[in-house]
Amino acid sequence: MKKMPNRKKKKIESTSDDLKAEYRFDYRNAKPNRFAAVMSDATVAVVLEPDVAAVFKSSKAVNSFLRSVIAAMPEAQTPKRGLTRL
């Protein structure tokens, strides 16, 4: 068996806030999204802050709370037809 030479990688000191100028993605290793079939076209993904996510245990709980807040909101007044704001 033939030995491969050791290639030394350049050590780059960076912080977690640094972004590389370019990222290489190997599409040969990519896998299809296994959750794509479950989501409908009307599904919207929202990212919750950790402290907010700790309060809700499921998406049903979040949706239930948001629906109750929406029901408690005063009705928005819709402008009458023919009137436009400048």
Write the pLDDT tens digit of every residue in 35-79.
778 777 787 888 889 999 999 988 899 999 999 999 999 886 655
- Residue 63 domain flag: yes
- Residue 55 domain flag: yes
The whole domain housing 61 covers: 47-74
- Residue 38 domain flag: no
- Residue 6 domain flag: no
Asked whether the beta carbons of 56 and 65 are under 8 A apart, the reply is yes
pLDDT: which is higher, 39 or 10: 39
Provide the domain count of the chain.
Answer: 1
Helix (H) or strand (E) holding 50: helix 50-53
pLDDT category of residue 83 using cuts at 50, 70 and 90: low
Close Cβ partners of 79 (under 8 Å, ≥ 6 residues apart): 85
Q: Is the pLDDT of residue 84 over 60?
A: no
Amino acid at 61: A
What global pTM score does this model have?
0.41
- Residue 59 domain flag: yes
pLDDT digits (tens, 9 = 90+) for 14-31: 566 788 888 888 889 888
